[in-house]
Amino acid sequence: MFYATWHPSPLGPLLLASDATSLVGLWIEGQKYFGGMVKDNFSEKNNVPVLIRAKKWLDAYFDGKKPAISSLSLAPAGGEFRQGVWEILCAIPYGELTTYGEIARKMAARMNRTSMSSQAVGGAVGHNPISIIIPCHRVIGSNGSLTGYAGGIDKKIQLLKLEGSAGSIVGVYSSNHN
């Protein structure tokens, strides 16, 4: 059984899901892959301790604080490759950016390969079931472009601005897409 609750945010309503022990999902309403594996199999419940902790984490984050990801019990569902990519995402420091290519190099090293597809990494990043907390918004293209974000590029820009890492990337993107 999964438990879920809604939480307001500057990005719009967020759906948080738990297996009662760990956070298994966090989606921005309307995002790609919304609800993931739990969307048709959850009971709405506001008093699950892990969901309460996740809401407090999100409130601190949106208040400009830097809550530690490690303070939450996370259990995103996915295969070994995706789990590896999500682990790398969790190691990206608050306010910093990395590229799909850099994650691919790290995954290749972990898997004892000479190379890894950036597109495969992009698929794993895009299917991250715990948006915001597992910071897939901190990943950009190798040319500095703000490539896709399941919640939408506008939400990615909001998150990067909040973290102070948007800088010239957002300015370039905004001027080219207005």
**Is 90 a residue of the active site?**
no
Largest CA distance in the chain: 47
Asked if residues 61 and 132 have their Cβ atoms less than 8 Å apart, the reply is yes
Which residues, including other chains, have CB under 8 Å from residue 121's CB and lie 6 or more apart?
A: 85, 100, 103, 104, 107
List alpha helices for 29-142, DSSP H: 49-62, 80-90, 100-110, 118-126
State the Cα–Cα distance between residues 97 and 127, nearest whole angstrom.
Answer: 19
Q: Catalytic: which of 11, 97, 130, 136? A: 136
Q: What positions carry a catalytic annotation? A: 136
